[in-house]
Structure 1
Amino acid sequence: MKNTQKGIQKRMRWLAPLAAMLLALTACSGGGGNNSAADAGTDQAAGNGSEAKQMRDVSVVLDWTPNTNHTGLYAAVDQGFYEKEGLNVKILQPGAGGADQMVASGEVPFGVSYQESVTQARVQGVPLVSIAAVIQHNTSGFAAPADRNIKSPKDFEGKRYGGWGSPVEEAVMKSIMDQEGADVSKVEKINMGEADFFTAVKRDIDFAWIYYAWTGIEAQLRNEPIDMLYVKDYSDSLDYYTPVLVTNEKQIADDPELVKSFMKATAEGYRYAIDHPAEAADILIKAVPDLDPKLVKASQEWLSPKYQDDAAQWGWQKPEVWKNYGDWMGSQKLLEGDFDYTKAFTNDYLPAADAK
């Protein structure tokens, strides 16, 4: 994987698959915490005897290919935090239907998602529930090579934006351009296709939406300076949680102890990544050897302090963040129904002992 630009691409396409997700929910059984032997099982369960038999196979599905957003999960496996909770955790990459569909249908009990897709899913009756904010503040934004001289949203005018045609892209762009009296219709929109950021800006675009923790850090390592406009800096409503960990309502109802145990170990994993970024980077590199070690190490160093940031504990979600973003989506006509933010997330399964 070169960068998580394609992760943004997949996130921007969350509108279309939701109808298919609803159909899948009627065809799949929901909520099981145990998974088949094909889906679960790591070296943690390789031992013999009654202790090994008591281990519970559990899967968690990523939103995209592994990157430093996911380091806490890999650390929790490597450091034995899941094993201590009696869990034999398998980390999966998403299938064709995506992580949200896999979790909502009960194919797997846990996954990585985003606040925007959970919000859209909830208004369409998809029972996803966010159980932790992986990163406390939104680290995404619009980025451009420094030679394009894009220093503010006003400078988007007359430039070429590389995206994927999602309604949320133009809505966010319009929101921050409106604040400066700029006209979003003066931005030329170009479909990036499968190109990554670095290829696209050399080919036919001036700027794109990226996660700084990966693509921005890669730009530093490549000595290709960029200007970064974080969307959260222009609106409190755009400082939403991305990514989040999710489960489904049935899983919570049927087996809340599994959710609690999973989150206890996961919080320990992210705490380890916060306190030991270099060692955590090595864990991710070992687990996913195809990754660029220099990029992983630099990204982890930048991202580790941002997992918890100014929150009382890792994973904490504020009601106002869910309300503000839901209200913003509604104001932009991005929702097709009423959104009850109080049911979209919960902090109930975060371990109190994790607070610092």
Structure 2
Amino acid sequence: MRSTHKGIGKRIKWTAPLAALLLALTACSGGAGGGTPAATGDPKAADGGEAQTLRDVSVVLDWTPNTNHTGLYAAVDQGFYEQEGLKVTILQPGAGGADQMVASGEVPFGISYQESITQARVQGVPLVSLAAVIQHNTSGFAAPTDRNIKSPKDFEGKRYGGWGSPVEAAVMKSIMDQEGADVSKVENINMGDADFFTAVKRDIDFAWIFYAWTGIEAKLRGEPIDMLYVKDYSDSLDYYTPVIATNEKQIADDPELVKAFMKATSEGYEYAIDHPAEAADILIQAVPDLDPELVKASQEWLSPKYRDDADQWGMQKPEVWDNYGKWMSSQNLLEGEFDSTKAFTNDYLPTAK
């Protein structure tokens, strides 16, 4: 969860060449993989510190650590992975990105997104979503309040900071069309590496952000924003972002590992739901470069939204996958038929208590 929704542009662009790239990759067995380690489980038994043999397992993040990932860090810190016989290392993504690392088998698990998995599936890339990290889409278009952007109609005549992604353009057009607004009247500016706060002071009026991070940061900085959540304009845009992903081969070859990893991960996110302050401290301790005030405020806002109105953390609804897939097809964003039943599974979540 970066300061802006830059990940959208990056995620959509990798899928076109991914299928070809995978042909050149040698599938690994799900070992440590590449990237930079961010956290590692302690190889001690949870019941008294007695050493035991733990299985090394890696999970790769989508971006730098943030409150989307707190459940993973909590599962490490609280010994939930150890209880399942796992020593989990949390990695930051390499140059190819988390999805490529998971799809190729370089690592068994990673943080992904419904939109990128949808595109990957129609290209024959066997990514599978195992759990929704957050039940409802917390992203949307944000602008400083002095730009007077109160609805999609107000995008007209304004400068949008993005990365030229087809999905960005389609989402913006989709919600502007509902209000009879003309998307061609929006000036698109490439933000480059600038964050939201730098860009709106420099040359843009609005951008796509995750409220849980950038929106909270704006509040802490005393820089009020107007936030237009995309889910409020279409049920099809209330998709899962982010998700926990694996690949079909991992599920086929070692379903027990998938089950054990997801049981502990679920416990980590449930811990973060029930103990937001303590979970924030765990993330701060694991990643000391993060702003503690931002982490604590973000965690307080986000923790209830992990599970929200679902019966348990991680559950995914077929209609959410179907609706978003149909929307992508209607926007000519897919290059083939999408079978939502193969894109996700709830089978490896623990049984609800």
State how far apart, in whole Å, the 1-side matches of 2:71 and 2:237 are: 25
Q: Name the structure 2 match of 1:221.
A: 220
State how far apart, in whole Å, the 2-side matches of 1:110 and 1:29 are: 17
State how far apart, in whole Å, the 2-side matches of 1:191 and 1:35 are: 35
Q: Name the structure 2 match of 1:101.
A: 100
Gaps of 5+ in 1: none
Opposite residue 169 of structure 2, the aligned amino acid is: E
Q: Name the structure 1 match of 2:333.
A: 334
What displacement does 1:21 show? 2.5
CA contact (8 A) 2:41 2:89 kept: no
Residues 58-87 of structure 1: per-residue CA shift (max 9 Å, x gap): 000000000000000000000000000000
CA contact (8 A) 2:32 2:89 kept: no
SS in 1 for 2:269: helix
Residues 196-233 of structure 1: per-residue CA shift (max 9 Å, x gap): 00000000000000000000000000000000000000
State the Cα RMSD in Å. Answer: 1.8
What displacement does 1:31 show? 5.8
SS in 2 for 1:66: coil
CA contact (8 A) 1:130 1:345 kept: yes
State how far apart, in whole Å, the 2-side matches of 1:266 and 1:287 are: 16
Opposite residue 98 of structure 1, the aligned amino acid is: G
1:73 is aligned to 2:72: yes
State how far apart, in whole Å, the 1-side matches of 2:32 and 2:191 are: 37
State how far apart, in whole Å, the 2-side matches of 1:106 and 1:150 are: 44
What displacement does 1:282 show? 0.1
SS in 2 for 1:210: strand
For residues 108-187 of structure 1, the aligned pairs below 5 Å read 108-187=107-186
Residues 155-200 of structure 1: per-residue CA shift (max 9 Å, x gap): 0001110000001001000110111100000111010011000000
SS in 1 for 2:142: strand
Closer, same or farther: CA 43–350 of 1 in aligned 2, 3 Å: closer
Residues 34-75 of structure 1: per-residue CA shift (max 9 Å, x gap): 43799889351279xxx7452100000000000000000000
1:13 is aligned to 2:10: yes
Closer, same or farther: CA 67–38 of 1 in aligned 2, 3 Å: closer
Q: 2:22 aligned to 17, 22, 25, which one?
A: 25
Opposite residue 230 of structure 1, the aligned amino acid is: Y
CA contact (8 A) 1:163 1:190 kept: yes
Opposite residue 67 of structure 2, the aligned amino acid is: T
**Runs of at least 4 residues of structure 1 off by over 4 A?**
36-41
| 13-22 vs 285-294, greater mean Cα deviation | 13-22
What displacement does 1:136 show? 0.1
What displacement does 1:22 show? 2.0
Opposite residue 23 of structure 1, the aligned amino acid is: A
Closer, same or farther: CA 308–32 of 1 in aligned 2, 3 Å: same
State how far apart, in whole Å, the 2-side matches of 1:124 and 1:37 are: 24
CA contact (8 A) 2:142 2:225 kept: yes
Percent identity over the alignment? 79
SS in 1 for 2:143: strand
For residues 1-356 of structure 1, the aligned pairs below 5 Å read 4-5=2-3, 8-30=5-27, 32-35=29-32, 42=40, 44-45=42-43, 52=51, 54-353=53-352, 355=353
SS in 2 for 1:280: helix
Opposite residue 124 of structure 1, the aligned amino acid is: Q
SS in 2 for 1:15: helix
State how far apart, in whole Å, the 1-side matches of 2:141 and 2:101 are: 30
Gaps of 5+ in 2: none
TM-score normalized by the length of structure 1: 0.94
Opposite residue 26 of structure 1, the aligned amino acid is: L
State how far apart, in whole Å, the 2-side matches of 1:180 and 1:199 are: 30
CA contact (8 A) 1:34 1:56 kept: no
TM-score normalized by the length of structure 2: 0.95
CA contact (8 A) 2:133 2:242 kept: yes
CA contact (8 A) 1:30 1:250 kept: no
Residues 116-136 of structure 1: per-residue CA shift (max 9 Å, x gap): 000000001110000000000
Closer, same or farther: CA 178–36 of 1 in aligned 2, 3 Å: closer
State how far apart, in whole Å, the 1-side matches of 2:235 and 2:318 are: 13
Opposite residue 15 of structure 1, the aligned amino acid is: I
Opposite residue 42 of structure 2, the aligned amino acid is: Q
State how far apart, in whole Å, the 1-side matches of 2:225 and 2:35 are: 43
Opposite residue 42 of structure 1, the aligned amino acid is: T
CA contact (8 A) 1:131 1:345 kept: yes
SS in 2 for 1:352: coil
| 94-103 vs 30-39, greater mean Cα deviation | 30-39
